[in-house]
Amino acid sequence: MNIPAPLPRALGDLVADHAERLTDADARIVDVLMQDPMRAAMESGKEVAERAGVHPASAVRLARRLGFDGYPEFRAFLQASLIDSADGDFDSGAARVAARLLRAPTGGLLSSILDSEIAALQQLRHTVGDDDIRGFSESLRDARRIFVYGLGHAASLSALITLRLRRSGYDALDLAGMPDLAETLNRMSADDVLWLTSFREPRPPVLALREVAAARGTDLLLLSDASGLRIKPAPQRRIIVSRGGAGHSQSLLVPMTVANAVILDLAAIDNGRSVQALREFRNFRARLAPAVPR
């Protein structure tokens, strides 16, 4: 059974306020909007009416009954409702893509993405400070082992973090996809650090790892967007960043910038450990070349 997507709240209010004036044709159009509000926000009145099986003029009449001058103004309202949805983190991937397309001017998709990334990075400058970075790097420096984990888009960032830490001479382990995860976690202790990256709604594996870390006294570093505030108990250290608002690109560049800053700061405070390890790795790789991929 297909479950209709939720109707944008503001549109639902409009329909309720004008319910007594709506005709059968109006109801059929509203039903189409309810079934797929993302698609409806991108279609013309004629296309919506065709899917509802009514005359194209019916879409214009519905828009006017709801208080708009015509269907283009009504469609702009639908687009704004989608972009400014109360569900700000856009758990639906389709909704996120649709909202980004709606924000981009015709032929200006790349510029729109660049503007979004720049705005998110500018906001980062004002929300994360050197003390936040230093707190992460000190915990990593003093850890016996560093466990790293992320899901979805965060998984690629976690893999990069693990690679950077290992090349810097730290015993770092990416937990994603490990066949012997339970055995590995059983060795986690208060001397270790767990670095979680989590975006949007915290998933069960993230919450489960948080519980393991709490039970074993393992310090938790959390790099996340605002959804990380839902992770309880609160981690020892966390950096909360905005990756862009609803309808923006939801940048991976922002948390990646934070991770790069942490690892660079780590090199500044670990008495040459990172620099020496990187030098030794470079020399070792050079001796193996060209037989081994870089």
Report the alpha-carbon distance of residue 232 to residue 211 in Å, rounded.
9
Q: Going from the N-terminus, what domains does the chain have, and what CATH number goes with each?
A: 9-86 (1.10.10.10), 120-288 (3.40.50.10490)
Structure token pair of residue 33:
């909007």
Report the alpha-carbon distance of residue 178 to residue 173 in Å, rounded.
10
Average pLDDT over residues 40-46: 82
Report which of residues 6 and 18 the model is more confident about: 18
Q: Do residues 270 and 141 touch, judged by C-beta distance below 8 A?
A: yes
Q: Each residue of 196-240: pLDDT tens digit?
A: 998 877 888 888 999 999 999 999 999 988 777 677 778 889 888
pLDDT at 262 over 50: yes
Q: Each residue of 115-148: pLDDT tens digit?
A: 777 877 887 887 888 999 999 999 999 999 999 9
pLDDT-based confidence at residue 256 (cuts at 50, 70, 90):
very high
Report which of residues 102 and 235 the model is more confident about: 235
Q: Are strands 237-240 and 219-224 parallel, antiparallel or unpaired?
A: parallel
Q: Please count the CA atoms within 13 angstroms of the CA of 205 that sit on its side-chain side.
A: 18
Q: Please count the CA atoms within 13 angstroms of the CA of 284 that sit on its side-chain side.
A: 7
Report the alpha-carbon distance of residue 133 to residue 285 in Å, rounded.
30
Structure token pair of residue 245:
């608002």
Report the alpha-carbon distance of residue 186 to residue 192 in Å, rounded.
12
3-state class (DSSP) for residue 195? strand
Q: What's the predicted TM-score (pTM) here?
A: 0.65
Strands ordered across the beta sheet of 146-150:
172-174, 146-150, 193-198, 219-224, 237-240
Report which of residues 50 and 103 the model is more confident about: 50
